[in-house]
């Protein structure tokens, strides 16, 4: 039995690679791709999702456009990392098929209401779509099998001194999701910063000599330049595929159960994921928070899957 998942994303270089992993790995059945404003506007992230699906011939999965702004705040994008298109670098052909007619929030509600509670949500962008669906139709909550999300940090952030981008982009939405009561695996920066796409990894992709692996290598080349210029990283961290990998092989992530609160009002800490590592709050754990990655296993899993594309 393949695990059913929905990928909620904001492509984005690493989201694009997460999509490729989710659509092709034999352990998963990708039911839908929903898009949200985050790395770029929702119009751009939606177009990027369609482009990736077109290039990889992922033509039988609906791609639905979602929320264009956070619940309470103006949107902020990550053009310094992902470029003006959200997917700068490679030359990607235009989409060969349209977006789904349904709004992403409506599609999420329909899929969960008509499910047997066997769908895992994999959000790799701001949590606006998920929170909006929960607020509009609370009956979906018990139908969510689990949530495996990329977001947050145990310690320092990457968009402010305290916060990681996905949570900071819509902290109120994150607060709703973390309070929903369903099993959550949180893949923070501490995990994803171990998934560094080195030149050796990019070389392995180019050696496959096929369009999709070459596309991934080109994505990582651009991503590497961005991370070198903005953060001084020697290689770019591949954040979002870690959330998909955690569904395929849960023990690929070393994690600890803890309570996580989302800071929504701090003068310096809006968007911080406050992780109660030592159980000081007395509050019940609401998330399985990753702290380490089985790095070699992760790259073998990802590269073996990408090698399956033409």
Q: How far apart are the first and last CA of the chain?
A: 25
CA–CA dist 219, 202 (Å, integer):
10
302 φ, ψ to 5°?
-70, -50
CA–CA dist 140, 112 (Å, integer):
6
**β-pair type (63-65, 287-293):** unpaired
* Contacts with 299 (C-beta within 8 Å, 6 or more apart), sequence order: 195, 201
Write down the residue that tokens 């992780």 correspond to.
275
Sheet holding 119-123: strands in order across?
Answer: 63-65, 28-35, 3-9, 119-123, 144-150, 184-187, 287-293, 253-262, 273-276
**pLDDT at 73 (0 to 100):** 94
Catalytic (active site) residue 170: no
**pLDDT at 310 (0 to 100):** 83
Q: Is residue 251 exposed (0-12), middle (13-18) or buried (19+ Cβ within 10 Å)?
A: exposed
**Tokens standing for residue 148:** 């495996």
**Domain annotation for the chain: domains and CATH numbers:** 3-306 (3.90.245.10)
Q: What string of pLDDT tens digits covers the 310 residues of the chain? A: 999 999 999 999 999 999 999 999 999 999 999 999 999 999 999 999 999 999 999 999 999 999 999 999 999 999 999 999 999 999 899 999 999 999 999 999 999 999 999 999 999 999 999 999 999 999 999 999 999 999 999 999 999 999 999 999 999 999 999 999 999 999 999 999 999 999 999 999 999 999 999 999 999 999 999 999 999 999 999 999 999 999 999 999 999 999 999 999 999 999 999 999 999 999 999 999 999 999 999 999 999 999 999 8
Query: 240 and 80 in contact (C-beta within 8 Å)?
Result: no
Q: Which of 10, 14, 15, 240 is catalytic?
A: 10
């Amino acid at each position: 039995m393949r695990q059913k998942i929905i990928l909620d994303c904001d492509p984005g270089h690493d989201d694009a690679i997460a999509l490729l992993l989710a659509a092709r790995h034999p352990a998963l059945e990708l039911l839908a791709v929903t898009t949200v404003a985050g790395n770029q506007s929702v119009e751009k992230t939606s177009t990027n999702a369609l482009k990736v699906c077109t290039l990889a011939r992922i033509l039988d999965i609906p791609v639905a456009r979602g929320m264009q702004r956070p619940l309470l705040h103006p949107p902020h994008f990550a053009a310094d990392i992902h470029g003006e298109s959200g997917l700068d670098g490679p030359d990607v052909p235009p989409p060969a098929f349209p977006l789904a007619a349904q709004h992403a929030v409506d599609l999420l509600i329909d899929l969960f209401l008509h499910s047997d509670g066997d769908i895992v949500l994999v959000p790799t962008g701001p949590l606006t779509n998920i929170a909006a669906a929960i607020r509009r139709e609370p009956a979906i909550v018990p139908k969510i099998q689990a949530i495996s999300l990329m977001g947050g940090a145990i310690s320092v952030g990457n968009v402010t001194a305290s916060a990681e981008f996905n949570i900071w982009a819509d902290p109120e939405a994150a607060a709703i999701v973390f309070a929903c009561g369903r099993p959550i695996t949180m893949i923070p920066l501490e995990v994803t910063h171990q998934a560094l796409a080195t030149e050796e990894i990019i070389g392995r992709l180019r050696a496959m000599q096929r369009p999709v692996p070459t596309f991934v290598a080109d994505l990582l080349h651009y991503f590497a330049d961005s991370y070198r210029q903005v953060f001084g990283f020697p290689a770019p961290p591949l954040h979002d595929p870690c959330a998909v990998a955690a569904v395929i092989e849960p023990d690929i992530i070393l994690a600890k159960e803890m309570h996580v609160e989302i800071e929504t009002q701090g003068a310096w800490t809006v968007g911080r994921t406050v992780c109660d590592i030592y159980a000081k709050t007395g509050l019940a754990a609401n998330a399985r928070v990753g702290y380490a990655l089985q790095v070699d296993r992760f790259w073998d899993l990802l590269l073996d899957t990408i090698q399956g594309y033409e």
